[in-house]
Amino acid sequence: MASPSPAALTTADLALAAATCRETLAPALDADWTIRAGDLNWTCQRTLDHVVDTLLFYAVMLATRATAWPIPARDGDPAKSPAELLTIIESAAAILADVARAAPDGTRAFHPAGMTDPEGFLALGCEEILIHTDDIARGLGCPCAPPPDLVERVLWRLFPWAPAGHEPWQTLKWACGRVALPDRARLGPNWYWHSAPLSEWDGKVKRRAAPPAWT
């Protein structure tokens, strides 16, 4: 099991994740963004567009206190360039951060992985940005090295069953089915998050019933 960190995820962490996305991908704006993002079936541009969709979707869930899957506020915009999308990701992250900041104590909202609190949505937003930034970076051939402290806290919050003893960034990618670890095989597409508060974790590894859209 990963070692817990006393620091909760904050709105500043979401802004940091968005800034990391820009810093990682901006040097590759002249590359071919129509190639696949890592092992995904999506192009690099579609993957970046998806990150915007997801951040706004999380904001809608939390702002409306959704109890079931809401209609998405946005479903991609192929006309937007990668440069524009990098800016929009920062804007979408700011929207989700403001919604989380304004949510009263005890607020919960629907997420398919469990009824989620504001910190859970911040963690999900950070993970969405960091993992898909890495997918895109692998497609474009540029390095991705997010802040280790941020990575460790996202890992602990969303994957409390993750194994200890490995570098946090590699462990987070393992937990999201991207890589193998020296002593563990790469996970299949049924990996999942624990999005509800950690106090509600039952000690079991969560698995999804259907593969994600990007596989």
Domain-located, residue 169: yes
Domain-located, residue 214: no
Q: How many domains does the chain have?
A: 1
Say how far apart CA 111 and CA 190 lie, in whole Å.
16
Residue 34 belongs to domain with CATH number: 1.20.120
Domain-located, residue 51: yes
* pLDDT score at 82: 98
Domain-located, residue 84: yes
Domain-located, residue 206: no
* pLDDT score at 132: 98
pTM value? 0.95
- Please compute, for residue 87, the number of CA atoms within 13 A of its CA located in the half-sphere on the CB side: 4
**The two three-digit tokens of residue 131, written as one number:** 């993992």
* pLDDT score at 215: 59
Domain-located, residue 88: yes
Q: Do 135 and 37 touch, CB atoms closer than 8 A?
A: yes
Handedness of CA 26, 16, 14, 93 (dihedral sign): negative
Domain-located, residue 115: yes
Q: Do 160 and 2 touch, CB atoms closer than 8 A?
A: yes
**Structural domain range at position 21:** 11-200
**The two three-digit tokens of residue 85, written as one number:** 């999308």
**pLDDT in 10s for each residue of the chain, 215 residues:** 444 444 899 999 999 999 999 999 999 999 999 999 999 999 999 999 999 999 999 999 999 999 999 999 999 999 999 999 999 999 999 999 999 999 999 999 999 999 999 999 999 999 999 999 999 999 999 999 999 999 999 999 999 999 999 999 999 999 999 999 999 999 999 999 999 999 999 999 999 988 776 65
**The two three-digit tokens of residue 181, written as one number:** 């670890």
Domain-located, residue 207: no
